[in-house]
Amino acid sequence: MARITQEMVEKSYEVAKQVHNRKFDKNRGINILNKQYGMNRYSASIYVNDIICMLNGQRYKLQMAEDHTEYFLTMIEKEFGIEYLKIALSAVKQHINYEHSIEHPCNVEKLYISFMQKLGGGEPKQEKRRETMKIEIGESLMLSYLKHIKKCLFYQANWKVSSNWHIDDISSDKVLFSYSNIIKHPEFSDIFKASKLEQLIKQIDRIFYNYWNYQHNNQ
């Protein structure tokens, strides 16, 4: 990405506000930054888009420089107040989560934590955040595996077991047999430990459906 001067950063913010307020469209804003201030069109597009996402509390994918992100957050707080800063920080958090999901280094995580601490909503301890990151990455990998390897037709996240769900004896025996084989495997010893099947079922929050296996097993 071409070098972005402080003037370009400041003008990007002003242009993005105008686009956000529908004074003119995004393409015109990019042309202004490119022709009047010499900003690379690609960089201008990223900055205008990211700033608008911050103002709307929406995820953005492409990174900006850390000090530039700090400038935008500072200006949003100065001009619009704490509530808009919280909205912008929500967008930054979503951006951080996205970078983690694709295992890409993120340059604004410390900045986000710093602003959150100013608001009195500091992030959890480092270790807890690492565990959260592992879970999010694991869930993303599992979804990819179920879709592309197992060819599942349906995948439902955050699924909760109904208290009225009744499992017949035959199905229960099949599940118990499979579960017993899984927990005996050395690769899973640290995951299941001494968990009982009933406890595991209550903790299920993912459900998937493989139509081919259903047909195969019911022929």
166 and 137, same structural domain? yes
CA angle 127, 136, 100 (to 5 degrees): 80
Q: State residue 156's pLDDT score.
A: 62
Residues 9-62: tens digit of each pLDDT:
999 999 999 999 999 999 999 999 999 999 999 999 999 999 999 999 999 999
Q: Examine the fold and report which residue of 123, 154, 182 is the final residue of a domain before the chain moves on.
A: 123
133 and 85, same structural domain? no
pLDDT band at 144 (very low <50, low <70, confident <90, very high): confident
Residues 105-139: tens digit of each pLDDT:
899 999 999 999 988 865 545 555 666 666 666 66
Residue 156 lies in a domain: yes
Q: Output the DSSP codes for 61-119.
A: -S---HHHHHHHHHHHHHHH-HHHHHHHHHHHHHHHHHHHHTT---SSHHHHHHHHHHT
* Rounded-to-integer distance, Cα 46 and Cα 120, Å: 30
Residues 162-181: tens digit of each pLDDT:
666 677 778 778 877 877 77
**Per the structure, how many domains does the chain have?**
2
Residue 64 lies in a domain: yes
Q: State residue 212's pLDDT score.
A: 45
119 and 35, same structural domain? yes
111 and 23, same structural domain? yes
173 and 93, same structural domain? no
pTM across the whole model: 0.56
68 and 38, same structural domain? yes
Place of tokens 């970078």: 99
| DSSP 8-state symbol, 125 | P
Burial grade of 140 (CB within 10 A; 0-12, 13-18, 19 or more): middle
* Rounded-to-integer distance, Cα 94 and Cα 60, Å: 7
65 and 51, same structural domain? yes
151 and 61, same structural domain? no
87 and 13, same structural domain? yes
Place of tokens 């592309």: 148
Domain hosting 77: range is 6-123
10 and 114, same structural domain? yes
Q: Examine the fold and report which residue of 106, 123, 140 is the final residue of a domain before the chain moves on.
A: 123
